[in-house]
Structure formats: structure tokens, C-alpha cells
Amino acid sequence: MQLLITNYKLQTKGTKDGSRSPSILTLALILLLFCTNSFAYELAALESETAEDLLLFFEEEELIIATKHKTPLRKAPAIATVITAKDIRNMGARNLMDILKRVPGIGVSTAEVPAFHAVEVRGIRTLYSDKLLIMVDGHRINESMHGSSMHFFAYMSVDSIKRVEIIRGPGSALYGANAFLSVINIITKNTDDIKGVQVTAGTGSFDTQHYNLLFGHKGEKIKISGFVDYYDTNGQSLFIEQDAAGNSGDTLEWQERPDIGLNIEYGDFTLRSRYIRNEMGPIIGAASALNDETVQDWGQYYTDLTYKKDISDRVNITSRLYYDQVRLNPYWELFSEGFRGVYPDGMLGNPESKHRKLGGEFTTDFSVDDHRLTAGVMYEHIKQYDVHSFGNFHSITFAPQTHGEKDSFNRDVKRKIWALYVQDVWDIQDTLSLTTGVRYDNYSDFGDTTNPRAGLVWEFMENTSLKLLYGSAFRAPSFAQLYHINNPSIIGNPNLNPEKIKTYEAGLEHRFLQRYTARLSYFYNDIEDLIASGDKPSATEPAVQQNKGSAEIDGIEAELLFDLGNDNYGFFNYSYQHPIDGDTGQRLPDVPAHRANAMLNLAPWKYLNANINVSWTGKRYRDDRDTRSDLPDETMIDLTLIAKNFYKTLEIRGSIYNLLDNYYQDPSPHPGSVPNDFPTNKRMFMVEARYTF
């Protein structure tokens, strides 16, 4: 132990404000020392355990979204991570962002304008996180205006989650648009997971309150489960030294979020419905200016009816009908009271739009000899309507006008999509399988696209497997990129093509001593037709969205996972990424080359569970035209303790986020917005009680 403490002191280094954080080498050594010290115990234990005991001890994870049917994770044709409800509970996750930031190749940071966070995947970070597809129980939730899901489900209730499946890599061959860099499927709890009623109540820093009711009832013919979740906080009120208007002050990060879900199962039918609404203050604001009136109001409702039937031992069918309703209603105070001496109430705007989606999908699986074939057809009709904006300024000249005058910032439009896909999983041998597939998508507004995939998985020696993967994917242009109008800076382009990516991956996995798994993967992404703003024709004319960008990214992701039983488990992962602008050869800004996470969960006593998470983010580089210094590396440590088994089903959980209260920042994209970047994450405490009836 003394050696470990000495090593920690040697490996730490100062940050911008003088705080100290462990380097990536320290994190690796801490975990390696823990694992090495446990080997002696493992070897002794293995001598006394039977093979059957070990098989029961090590429950193999399964993955659904890689092939649309359950496959052991080591055999699935994807580089993937599975996070269970137990993991989520023990780590003290508050929302989906807390879960994702611990996954190799994924990072979470402050978005520039909206009141939510951006998810970076394998070196690509965009404002709306539109290059990843998020599904809940297979229901895609990305909206059409921005192609994003962050408005709603970044902060969804995690108490209702059974497991989260995360594929790093393309998924358009099965799932179509937005399955570009990653596919995330959130599987919620049902009556098999909920028996009776579970009540959770919590409070924490910044006047935070959280309440959750989870219930499940199983009758003779019908099963009903669901949840009601409410979250409210005043937020951290972080200090901004200088905003785009030259002012200083505190951010607005208050949030109020009701989240309600209901599942009804009857025979072969399952009806799922969900309503979530986020009302939030801005981290900074639409014009990168501090204000005190902005309200981000996002609402989404969907219902999904699924019918599953096993026709025979070899054939089964799944059909789905679904309906989505989305309302985007932000009220922006672009600049605060007295701006330019002509806006006594501030510069105000309220762009509102509604979105309706009606769709259906039919899928069939059938097995023939060593093949499992999956084929499907999908149709969607998307309507954007009631698009308008109210404000007290002219959208082109910025001249003051009567507050509430109506204008248009986009168009009432429709989009029709139909798609066909087919997949074959061929078990060539017990240790060798080949997955091939292709999907064709046709869009009424920009045309069609075809995306193939192939994956070879070979267990070439006992407990060791190799994956060789290829896939292409696309991201459909959003309605904002196609149809934005009446904007002096940038307008849409109805002639845009989809963004495209080709990804090549290789993965190696080895299990040893029954309780340890090591994974190493390599990826190469070739991206074309990225949509970005073109050059302004003149000072008075807006730029037009164009397919003008490309990128090349390669990198490695390494993981070590261990499970010693009795809730003693942990992991260490490390990611390296090298994102390059394909046109200029310059490094893409605002993302790190290195990232690492370590987690250790211990249950030293039947009454106590302890979980510590360490996340390290390497230096983040600026754009070559940005004269500011690169952002230094940073370390975040979270600690969660759970007291249990002391009184019936009562559990008390306490969490400290940013345990050492380290000061760190997320990058603002250019000096003209927030020159000194976005401060983020003060130390926060959260305590909650949970009781199951």
C-alpha cells in the first residue's frame, strides 16, 4: 500500500487552477495492482471450485441490437458494451449521460448553445449529437428538426432501465438513419423485473429533488408495469468570466422533468407508451450570452404496439405500429435587458415547431440449417407543422419590432421513408460465424441510400475470439439543415445529400481465470459529405448549408473487466482516437486523443456496497485558427455508498459527484462565444431512500 501511495504522488500533476489529478498511468497501476493481488486468491479458489460452479458464477452477457436477436456478447458481430440495472444502481447514475461517459470511446461535454450536453463518439462531437441513434425498447427517439435525442432522453429516468446496450460503430444496415457512429438501445423493466411497488425519494445539492414510483402487476392474462418519475433542480449556477456580449455572471441550469411510462402485455401483444417533458434553463444561451429568462421547453410522447409470434420452431414474426408526437418550444432571451439601448426587455425569440411520426415495421426470422435469416420492411410518415417564431426583433435586420409578431424560421414539411433490409447469420462452425446484411432506405426529400455490413467472429482458441467487421451508415439531413429560412447567418439547402461513413473494425477478446475479460479493438472511420456551413457570399447574404466536409478517424479501445463474485467487480478502459479533417489534414478540435475510466465496486459487508468511478479526459486540442491554449487534462471521481439489508427492503444510497471538487472546463468552439470556456460540474451530493412493497 505504501508503494501505491508513493506511486500516486509521483504520477499526479497540476491542473490549471493548481488542483492535482492522477495521470492515466496511475489509474492503470491502481487497477492492475488490485487485479494482481487478487490472482493468488483466484488460483486457490479455482482449485476448490467445480466447472459447474464456475459456469454458474460467470453469467455471460447477451446483446440484442447487433443482430435483432439475443447473441452472447463475445459472439456478436459488433464492438459493444452492456450495462445492467445493477451497474446503474451501484454507480449512482443520475441520467443517461452518467452511464455513457464511462463507455470506451464515448465522452460527454457541454453543448455550446442548447441546454443539454453533447455526446462525442470516437472523436466526432456535434452540437446536437445527431450521429448516434438512441432507441428505447427498439423504438427510435431521434427527432427530425435537428436529428437529436438529447432534448429529452439525455436526462431520462434511469430507475426504469433494465439494461443499456451500446454499439460503437455503424448500424444503418439494420436501423437506418442516425445509426452512424453508435447505436444505443435502452431496455426498460417489465413485470418480470418489477414485482409490486418500488418507491424512491431523494434530495441533494442545488435544491435537487427526485421522486420515482415503479410498479408491476402480473395477472392471469394481462401484465401491467410502468413508472412515474419527477426530477427538479435549481442547477449549479456556474460562473462565466465573459460571454459573447462581454458580460460576466452565472449560468442558468435549473431543470424540471416529469417522465411517465406504461407497458401493457396481453398474449403476444405489447403496448408501450411514454411521455417525457424537459423544462430547462440554458447553460449559456442561443447567442452565447448570459440571461435570466430563457426557458427550453421540450416535450415528447410516443406509443408503440408490438406483436410477436412464433409460427414454428424455425419461424417467428414481429410487427410494430408506432406514433410519436414531439413539441419543440424554446423561449430564448438572446441578449439581456437593455441590449444596444433599444431592447429594454432584452432581445427575445420563441421558435416553435411540432412533429408527428406514424410508422410501421414488419420483421421475420427463420432458421435454415446453419443460417438464421432476418428480413424486414419499414414505413414512416413524418410531418413537421405549426412552425413559427415570435420575437421582438426582425429576423434579418435585427431591427426592433412589436413583441409577439409572427415569423417563420423553417417550413411546414412532410417526409416519407420506406426501407427494406435483410440479414444472414451463418454459423459456419461452432467457433466461426459470418453475419452479412444490407438495407435500402428511400426518402421522399433527398432520395435513396444503400448500406451493407459484414462481420466475421472466430473463436480461434478456447476463450479467445477475433472479430473482423465492416459497415457503412448514413445520417439523413435534418429539417433544420434542409429548410431553415429567414436567418442572416445561415439557411437550409433542400438539395443536401446524406452524410456517409464506412467503418472497418477489428476486435480481440480473451477470458482468463474465469473471472477476467480483456478486450482490444481497432477502428477506422472514413466519413464523407459532412454537412456544414458554406462561405457567406457577402456580408449581407447568409451562408448556405453544404455537403462540404470529410474526416478520417482511427483509434484503439482497450478494456479489462473482472468479477470476483459477491458484488466485487470492476473495470478499466482506455481509448485513443486520432480524428483528422479529410480536406485540410488538420486535427479535429475540441476532442481529446486519450480518455480512460476505472471503476471498482466492493461489497465488504452484507449491509454495505461501495462504488468508486474515476474518469480521466486527456488534453483537448483547439482549432488551428484558435489562438487559445489547449484545454488541459482533467480527472473526475464519483463515490457512491449503499446501505442495505438492515431493515426489510429499505436501501439508502448516498453519492458524491466530483469528489475532490476539481475545477475543469468544456471547450467553447471559438473565442467569440465564451473566451474562457464553459466551467462545469461543481461537487454535488445526492441522498435517496428506496423501499419495495
Helix (H, G, I), strand (E, B) or coil at 259: strand
Residue 36, φ and ψ in degrees, nearest 5: -65, -40
pLDDT at 429: 94
What band does 503 get if pLDDT is binned at 50, 70 and 90?
A: very high
pLDDT at 10: 35
- In this structure, the number of other CB atoms found within 10 A of the CB of residue 68 comes to 20
Lowest model confidence (mean pLDDT) among 43-57, 257-271, 428-442, 514-528: 43-57
Mean pLDDT, residues 32-40: 43
Q: Is the pLDDT of residue 492 over 50?
A: yes
Residue 479, φ and ψ in degrees, nearest 5: -65, -30
Residues contacting residue 254 through CB under 8 Å, at least 6 positions apart: 233, 234, 235, 280, 281
Find residue 400's DSSP bridge partners: 393
pLDDT at 528: 96
* Percent of the residues in the chain that have a pLDDT greater than 70, as a whole number: 91
Q: In angstroms, rounded to a whole number, what is the distance separating the alpha carbons of residues 554 and 579?
A: 7
pLDDT at 538: 78
Q: Are strands 464-475 and 447-461 parallel, antiparallel or unpaired?
A: antiparallel
pLDDT at 38: 44
What band does 48 get if pLDDT is binned at 50, 70 and 90?
A: very low
Cell of 622: 483547439
Q: What is the pLDDT of residues 345-394, one digit of tens each?
A: 888 989 999 999 999 999 999 999 999 999 999 999 999 999 998 888 88
Q: What is the pLDDT of residues 532-549, one digit of tens each?
A: 988 888 777 889 999 999
What band does 624 get if pLDDT is binned at 50, 70 and 90?
A: confident
Cell of 288: 452565447
Lowest model confidence (mean pLDDT) among 83-97, 137-151, 374-388, 417-431: 137-151
Place of cell 456517409: 500
Find residue 92's DSSP bridge partners: none
Q: Is the pLDDT of residue 461 over 90?
A: yes
Would you say 654 and 6 are in contact if contact means Cβ atoms under 8 Å apart?
no
What band does 149 get if pLDDT is binned at 50, 70 and 90?
A: confident
Helix (H, G, I), strand (E, B) or coil at 55: helix
Helix (H, G, I), strand (E, B) or coil at 144: coil
Would you say 229 and 259 are in contact if contact means Cβ atoms under 8 Å apart?
yes
Q: What is the pLDDT of residues 632-641, one digit of tens each?
A: 999 999 999 9
pLDDT at 114: 66
pTM of the entire predicted model = 0.90
pLDDT at 190: 93
- In this structure, the number of other CB atoms found within 10 A of the CB of residue 160 comes to 26
Q: What is the pLDDT of residues 552-586, one digit of tens each?
A: 999 999 999 999 999 999 999 999 999 999 999 99
**Mean pLDDT over each residue of the chain, to the nearest integer:** 88
Q: Is the pLDDT of residue 603 over 70?
A: yes
Looking from the CA of 449 toward its CB, the CA atoms found within 13 Å total 24
pLDDT at 413: 96
What band does 664 get if pLDDT is binned at 50, 70 and 90?
A: confident
Residues in the chain: 693
CATH no. for 58-692: 2.40.170.20
Q: What is the pLDDT of residues 272-331, one digit of tens each?
A: 999 999 998 888 888 888 888 889 899 999 999 999 999 999 999 999 999 999 999 999
pLDDT at 115: 59
pLDDT at 517: 96
pLDDT at 561: 96
Q: Is the pLDDT of residue 24 over 70?
A: no
Q: What is the pLDDT of residues 95-134, one digit of tens each?
A: 999 999 999 999 998 887 665 788 999 999 988 899 999 9
H helix count then E strand count, the chain: 8, 40
Task: Calculate helix-pair angle for 2-11, 24-48, nearest 10 degrees.
Answer: 150
Lowest model confidence (mean pLDDT) among 140-149, 358-367, 647-656: 140-149
Q: What is the pLDDT of residues 227-269, one digit of tens each?
A: 999 999 999 888 999 988 889 999 888 999 999 999 999 999 9
What residue segments make up the domains of the chain, in order of their start?
Answer: 1-49, 58-692
Would you say 554 and 579 are in contact if contact means Cβ atoms under 8 Å apart?
no
Of 353, 232, 356, nearest in space to 298 by CA: 353
Specify burial of residue 552 (Cβ count, 10 A radius: 0-12, 13-18, 19+): middle
What band does 43 get if pLDDT is binned at 50, 70 and 90?
A: very low
- The residue type at 339: F
Would you say 347 and 334 are in contact if contact means Cβ atoms under 8 Å apart?
yes
Secondary element (H or E) of residue 640: strand 634-643
Q: In angstroms, rounded to a whole number, what is the distance separating the alpha carbons of residues 519 and 507?
A: 7
